[in-house]
């Protein structure tokens, strides 16, 4: 090794290769640091399209790219497949599950969020959530098997229970899942079954609050509801789920009365909690587990530790920065700038969030868009949503494949990834 | 129901939606029968490209299509997801794992083949074989994790063991896997690691017999060997594997001496056995478990039961019909013709096999083709192989996607599906 390589360059450890971690890493490409990016998975995931994998419109590799491949030309980065299990801020050390330890000079924790079942962890087995590719494939398998089970049984009650689908949570993920599920039942599976009519499936979207897409203006929530209903989704608001088990769920209606519904497929899109890694820090966290960071996104008392993305709880002008991809990217880029400033002996600037607006897709040719008061809904919003998402897939060469798949799915109503892996057991 | 629908149409039960079962089903489209196609999986698999899924060049849905979708317009077919566990020839009943039973008038057993470890079933855990999409994804995961483990360790012996790959069996599958693995190590992963050079990986193809691709003329076997070596594969012939365990394998050399090799990744492409469903028949089977059928592919003593595809052992003019896709399709079509003949009161004709030739791909721009003495090897053979395979993907709309993927992989050396699902455990 040359003498230059031997001298100490600050070591930046980035935990998590999602939007925040990856954007921070890339923004440090020309910095005089060495970076270790640690992730439990070998890929970066384009999470906004994850519901398309769950509903068999896209393959898993269409929306994921190996972190090593994305970063192969950035010579100051080492990618490490591994799980962080410990953090010692005093010795500036991160412990990995395989026994290794990484010493850091600057640390970015960006391990994202997971599902939360509001204290009902037993619901997880019956109502899977959607955060990872494994989650998406598990949901895909459940959806496809439900129609198979309905076709195989002769018992009308059991058949109805298999054709009863519920999505809990009326945020963007719940709306996407319910809208696409209705399309699958009404169009994709047409002609494929002989004993059932898949269009008989009931798809219900359940929201405990008063309206779906609560982060949008009320008029767009109403439009989203109308579009969902046009797609065949039954929308229930103001009705919290009381319990979920293997056979169905119990709903508390607006009148306070509870109803039991037999439904074999319940999907969870209601609660999000920050990654448990936040608990490794000696820092205050909010109810959802998000670390309450300082203005520069560092942890109070630990200027060498930053938190970004869904793990960070950031309040700006009295409003929480939302847990969306653009916010995570901006936080990641900010942390890179803060680290550069520190290394140059300057104070780190405060994080500013640039809100470009809010968009959500609902289903075929249906979406809502809110750009600071400029509102769109329906077909035009859907085209806007599509263009934005294809544009942001840049960096993945999979863009072409995703476009071809989408064009095909659009014209044919077909979803090419309807493959059940793992031969199903009888107790499925 | 109308009176016409009520009258008894003969019930044909087809077990297995591979080439034999699917081609038989389609050839009965206009026959006055009702058909139930039973498969444990919901998809037909284009098995000749399975090695591409294992080596991350294609996604699982690229080479698989839901059976229901393929057959949606063929109204005399019902597709049943289920596993056959019993057969009672006396009552003409097939039992399914979920407790249901299907009565048949004519039965086609076409459940294919699986791996065989020649009595060493304990090797299965250490040396996975390649028959299903699940197998392919498991192999993909192992290959990708091996490079990750090599990068993560500081122990030179362990690193070498992780970079030591062995493929057991020099038939077409073994040759494809070894050739592609060498390409991944030498080209695909270039620049992606910081501590190891993936090109240091040793890829060894081990064949117990005297040459690779034994079903080809000797001159093409020699050319295949030379092409493999040019791709960086070490070819060992005349050397049976004595044992396989978690840490490596023992090889018996031509001189009879045994050598232990530390290798963490061993793939099995040596043995094939017919599906265990053949044992449900009261019929003679050969050493590999193939049912010895009559000239019309029916089971001796049971003219209403046919066997086709890899489960059938057919000798014609003293030669065994090979276990390849064209043979399975021809057998499937023949069984459909035999059933039509029976229903019309005619005798079923004898099966004739039309051998179009033999082709095997080796790796990037390397293949061998034998068309009844007209021999090709190298780049020209590779183009021939590619054209033939893309052509036979007809019926899958995935053809376009597969072509786009291939074109991309060809020019960039990239393999887009390098995604490890399931977060790896530490004991992986």
Reduced 3-state DSSP string for B32-44: CCEEEEEECCCEE
Nearest chain B Cα to A195, which residue?
B78
Query: Which parts of A346-398 fold into alpha helices (H)?
Result: 379-392
Confidence of residue B105 (pLDDT cuts 50, 70, 90): very high
**Chain B residue with minimal CA distance to A403?**
B401
Predicted confidence at residue A401, as pLDDT, reads 66
The answer to whether A80 contacts chain B (CB < 8 Å) is: yes
Taking Cα atoms as reference points, which of B421, B418, B426 lies closest to residue B58? B418
Length of chain B: 428
Domain count, chain B: 2
Instruction: Give the other-Cβ count within 10 Å of B86's Cβ.
Output: 12
Q: What's the confidence (pLDDT) of residue A62?
A: 81
- In this predicted structure, the answer to whether residue B165 has a pLDDT above a threshold of 90 is yes
Contact A61 B418 (CB under 8 A): yes
The CA distance from A170 to the nearest CA of chain B, in Å, is 28
**Would you say the C-alpha torsion B333, B335, B338, B343 has a positive or negative sign?**
negative
Distance CA A348, CA A293 (A): 13
The distance of A345 to chain B (nearest Cα, Å) reads 30
At A40 the three-state DSSP class reads coil
Q: Which helix (H) or strand (E) holds B244?
A: strand B241-244
Residue B256 domain-assigned (yes or no): yes
Count the alpha carbons within 13 Å of A51 in the hemisphere toward its beta carbon.
21
* φ, ψ for residue B44, nearest 5 deg: -90, 140
Same-domain check for residues A201 and A336: no
Burial of B426 (0-12, 13-18, 19+ CB in 10 A): exposed
For residue B97, give the 3-state DSSP assignment.
Answer: coil
DSSP one-letter code for A10: P
Catalytically annotated residue among A148, A151, A176, A304: A176
Are the beta carbons of B81 and A426 separated by less than 8 Å? no
What DSSP designation does B96 have? E
Closest by Cα among B207, B186, B218, B225 to B366:
B225
Q: Which of residues 112-141 of A touch B (CB under 8 A)?
A: 133-134, 137
Neighbours of B218 (CB within 10 A): 11
Whether residue A65 contacts residue A43, with contact meaning beta carbons closer than 8 Å, is answered with yes
Interacting residues of B149 by C-beta distance below 8 A, sequence separation 6+:
B158, B162, B264, B428
**Predicted pLDDT of residue A372:** 87
Q: In this model, does residue B158 exceed pLDDT 80?
A: yes
Q: Is A428 on the interface with B (CB under 8 A)?
A: no
CB A24 within 8 A of CB A336: yes
Please say whether the beta carbons of A273 and A117 come within 8 A: no
User: What's the pLDDT score for residue A389?
Assistant: 83
Burial class (CB in 10 A: 0-12, 13-18, 19+), A122: exposed
Rounded Cα gap, residues A368 and A217, in angstroms? 10
Distances (CA, A) of A426 to A335, B81, B96, B97: 50, 11, 10, 7
CB-based contacts of A345: which residues, under 8 Å, 6+ apart?
A: none
Helices (H), B84-132: none
Contact A61 B417 (CB under 8 A): yes
| A417 contact residues in B (CB cutoff 8 A) | 59-61
Give the rounded distance of the alpha carbon of A204 from its chain centre.
21
Looking at residue B166, its pLDDT comes to 98
Q: Enumerate the residues of chain B whose CB falls inside 8 A of the CB of residue A152.
A: 80-82, 98, 100
Distances (CA, A) of A372 to A217, A331, A380: 10, 21, 17
How distant is the Cα of B106 from the closest Cα of chain A, in angstroms? 21
Mutate to test the interface with A, among B41, B192, B404 (most CBs of A within 10 A): B192
Residues A264 and A283 in one domain: no
State whether residue B41 sits within 8 Å of chain A by CB. yes
Last residue of a domain, one of A285, A310, A343: A343
**pLDDT over 60 (residue B177):** yes
**Residue B187 φ/ψ, nearest 5 degrees:** -120, -55
Residues B182, B56, B167: CA angle, nearest 5 degrees: 40
Residue A186 lies inside a defined structural domain of this protein = yes
Instruction: Tell me which residue in A42, A191, A424 faces B72 most closely, judged by beta carbons.
Output: A191
Considering the domain boundaries, does residue A188 fall inside one?
A: yes
Q: Is residue A349 part of a domain?
A: no
Smallest Cβ–Cβ distance between A404 and the set B145, B152, B404 belongs to B404
Residues A169 and A248 in one domain: yes
Q: Which of B61, B417, B424 is facing A81, going by the closest CB pair?
A: B424
The answer as to whether A301 is a domain residue is yes
Q: How are the residues of chain A apportioned to helix, strand and coil, as percentages rounded to the nearest 5?
A: 35, 25, 40
Q: In the 8-state DSSP scheme, what is residue A32?
A: S
Beta-strand (E) ranges in B21-163? 34-39, 43-45, 64-66, 77-81, 84-88, 93-96, 101-103, 106-109, 113-115
Interface of B with A in 291-330 (CB under 8 A): none
- Longest alpha-carbon distance in chain A: 77
What average pLDDT does chain B have?
91
Query: For position A118, what pLDDT does the model report?
Result: 87
In terms of C-beta density within 10 A (0-12 exposed, 13-18 middle, 19 or more buried), how is residue B298 classed? buried
B62 in any annotated domain = no
The Cα A41–Cα A11 span in angstroms is: 21
Closest by Cα among A331, A269, A342, A329 to A105: A342
Estimate the crossing angle of helix A399-412 against helix B399-412, to 10 degrees.
Answer: 170
Inform me whether the C-beta atom of residue A60 falls under 8 Å from chain B C-beta atoms: yes
Identify the helix (H) or strand (E) that includes residue B185. none
Handedness of CA B157, A38, A28, A395 (dihedral sign): positive
Q: In a structure prediction context, what are the per-residue pLDDT tens digits for chain A, which is 428 residues long?
A: 344 444 589 999 999 999 999 999 999 999 999 999 999 999 999 888 899 899 988 888 888 889 999 999 999 999 999 999 999 999 999 999 999 999 999 999 999 999 899 889 999 999 999 999 999 999 999 999 999 999 999 999 999 999 999 999 999 999 999 999 999 999 889 899 999 999 999 999 999 999 999 999 999 999 999 999 999 999 999 999 999 999 999 999 878 899 999 999 999 999 889 999 999 999 999 999 999 999 999 999 999 999 999 999 999 988 899 999 999 999 999 999 999 999 999 999 999 999 989 999 998 888 999 998 899 999 899 888 888 887 777 555 556 666 776 666 666 666 777 877 765 554 44
**Three-class DSSP category at A22:** helix
Find, among A222, A174, A160, A150, the residue nearest to A55 by Cα: A174
Q: Are B175 and B212 in contact (CB under 8 A)?
A: yes
What is the count of residue pairs from A and B with beta carbons less than 8 Å apart?
147
What CA–CA distance (Å, rounded) separates A143 from A420?
A: 10
B190, B400, B417 ranked by CB distance to A404: nearest:
B400
Whether residue A36 sits in one domain with residue A14? yes
Report the pLDDT value the prediction gives residue B4, as an integer from 0 to 100: 47
What's the gap in Å between the CA of A192 and the closest CA on chain B?
A: 5
pLDDT band at residue B372 under the 50/70/90 scheme: confident
Please, which residues 93-112 of chain B have a Cβ atom closer than 8 Å to chain A?
Answer: 97-98, 100
| A134 and A168 assigned to the same domain | yes
Task: Indicate the residue of A190, A194, A419 with minimum beta-carbon distance to B61.
Answer: A419
Q: Do B42 and A69 touch (CB under 8 A)?
A: no
- Same domain for A405 and A288? no
C-alpha–C-alpha distance, residues A416 and A55, integer Å? 10
Which of B319, B343, B367 is the C-terminal boundary of a domain? B343
Determine contact: B152 vs chain A, CB below 8 A: yes
Q: For chain B, give percent helix, strand, coil, nearest 5.
A: 35, 25, 40
Query: CA–CA distance from A71 to each of A61, A80, A335, B29, B361 (Å)?
Result: 17, 12, 18, 52, 32
CA distance B35 to chain A (A): 12
Q: Which domain holds residue B334?
A: 3-40+82-115+273-343
- State whether A419 and B64 contact (CB < 8 Å): yes
Looking up residue A264, the CATH number of its domain turns out to be 3.50.50.100
H or E element that contains B326 = helix B325-343
Q: Which of B61, B82, B184, B397 best probes binding to A when mutated, by most A CB atoms within 10 angstroms?
A: B61
Mutation target for B interface from A34, A69, A114: give the one with most B CBs within 10 A.
Answer: A69
Question: Which distant-in-sequence residues (6+ apart) come within 8 Å of A352 by Cβ?
Answer: A316
Residue A329 placed within a domain: yes
- DSSP lists the bridge partners of residue A95 as A86, A101
The CATH code of the domain that includes B307 is 3.50.50.60
Query: What's the pLDDT at B64?
Result: 87
For residues B190 and B162, state if they share a domain: yes
CA distances from B221 to B49, B214, B237 (A): 21, 7, 11
Contact at CB, A423 and B192, closer than 8 angstroms: no
From chain A, the residues in CB contact with B56 under 8 A are 61
Interface of A with B in 181-220 (CB under 8 A): 189-195
CA distance B131 to B133: 7
Statement to judge: residues B185 and B266 lie in one domain: yes
Coil, strand or helix at A56: coil
- Which is more confident, B426 or A39? A39
Taking an 8 Å cut-off on Cβ atoms, the answer to whether B419 and A68 are in contact is no
Same structural domain, B315 and B400: no
Distance CA B142, CA B132 (A): 15
Task: Please check the confidence at residue B405 and state whether its pLDDT lies above 80.
Answer: no
8 A C-beta contact, residue A39 and residue A21: yes
pLDDT of res. A7: 59
Q: Is residue A133 part of a domain?
A: yes
B103 and B138 housed in the same domain: no
CB contact under 8 A, B81 and A195: no
3-state secondary structure of B284: coil
Residue A426 is predicted with a pLDDT of 42
8 Å CB contact of B59 and A64: no
Nearest to A404 among B73, B78, B401 (CB): B401
Of A98, A400, A420, the CB nearest to B41: A420
Strand partners, B305: B107
Residue of A nearest to B81 (CA): A148
Q: Tell me the backbone φ, ψ of residue A243, rounded to 5 degrees.
A: -160, 155
Q: What is the per-residue pLDDT for A400?
A: 67
Residues of chain A in contact with residue B131, where contact means CB-CB under 8 angstroms, are: none
Neighbour-count burial of B413, counting CB atoms closer than 10 A to its CB (0-12 exposed, 13-18 middle, 19+ buried): middle
Residues A236 and A362 in one domain: yes
B window 238-267, beta carbon within 8 A of A: none
- Does the active-site annotation cover A176? yes
Cα maximum dimension of chain B? 77
Residue of B nearest to A64 (CA): B419
Q: Do B416 and A422 touch (CB under 8 A)?
A: no
- Which residues 392-411 on chain A approach chain B with CB closer than 8 angstroms? 397-398, 400-401, 404-405, 408
Residue ending a domain, choose from B282, B315, B343: B343
B148·A42 Cβ contact <8 A: yes
pLDDT tens column, B16-67? 999 999 999 999 999 999 999 999 999 999 888 899 899 988 888 888 889 9
- Shared domain for A180 and A261, answered yes or no, is yes
- How many whole angstroms separate alpha carbon B405 and alpha carbon B420? 19
């Amino acid at each position: 090794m040359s003498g230059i390589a031997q001298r100490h360059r600050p070591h930046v450890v980035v935990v998590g290769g999602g939007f925040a971690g990856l954007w921070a890493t890339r923004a440090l490409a020309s910095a005089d640091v060495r970076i270790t990016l640690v992730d439990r998975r070998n890929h970066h995931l384009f999470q906004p399209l994850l519901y398309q994998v769950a509903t068999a419109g896209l393959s898993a590799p269409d929306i994921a790219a190996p972190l090593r491949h994305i970063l192969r030309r950035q010579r100051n980065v080492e990618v490490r497949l591994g799980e962080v299990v410990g953090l010692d801020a005093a010795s500036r050390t991160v412990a990995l599950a395989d026994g290794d330890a990484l010493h850091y000079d600057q640390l970015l924790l960006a391990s994202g969020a997971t599902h939360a079942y509001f204290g009902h962890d037993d619901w997880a087995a019956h109502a899977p959530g959607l955060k990872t590719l494994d989650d998406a494939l598990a949901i895909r398998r459940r959806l496809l098997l439900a129609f198979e089970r309905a076709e195989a049984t002769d018992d009308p009650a059991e058949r109805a229970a298999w054709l009863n689908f519920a999505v809990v949570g009326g945020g963007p993920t719940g709306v996407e899942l319910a809208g696409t599920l209705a399309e699958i039942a009404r169009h994709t599976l047409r002609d494929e079954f002989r004993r059932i009519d898949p269009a008989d499936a009931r798809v219900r979207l359940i929201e405990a609050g008063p309206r779906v897409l609560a982060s949008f203006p009320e008029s767009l929530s109403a439009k989203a509801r109308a579009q969902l209903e046009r797609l065949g989704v039954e929308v229930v608001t103001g009705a919290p789920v009381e319990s979920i088990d293997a056979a169905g769920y119990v709903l508390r209606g607006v009148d306070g009365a509870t109803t039991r519904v037999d439904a074999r497929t319940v999907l969870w899109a209601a609660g999000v909690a920050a990654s448990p890694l936040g608990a490794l820090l000696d820092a205050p966290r909010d109810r959802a587990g998000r670390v309450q960071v300082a203005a520069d996104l560092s942890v109070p008392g630990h200027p060498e530790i930053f938190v970004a993305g869904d793990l960070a709880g950031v309040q700006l002008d009295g409003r929480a920065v939302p847990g969306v991809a653009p916010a995570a990217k901006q936080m990641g880029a900010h942390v890179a700038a803060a680290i550069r400033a520190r290394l140059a002996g300057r104070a780190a600037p405060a994080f500013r969030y640039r809100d470009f607006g809010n968009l959500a897709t609902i289903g075929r040719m249906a979406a809502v868009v809110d750009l600071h008061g400029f509102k769109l809904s329906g077909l035009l919003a859907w085209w806007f949503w599509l263009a934005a998402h294809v544009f942001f897939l840049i960096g993945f060469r999979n863009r072409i494949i995703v476009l071809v798949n989408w064009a095909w799915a659009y014209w044919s109503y077909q979803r090419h990834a309807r493959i059940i892996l793992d031969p199903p057991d009888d107790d499925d």
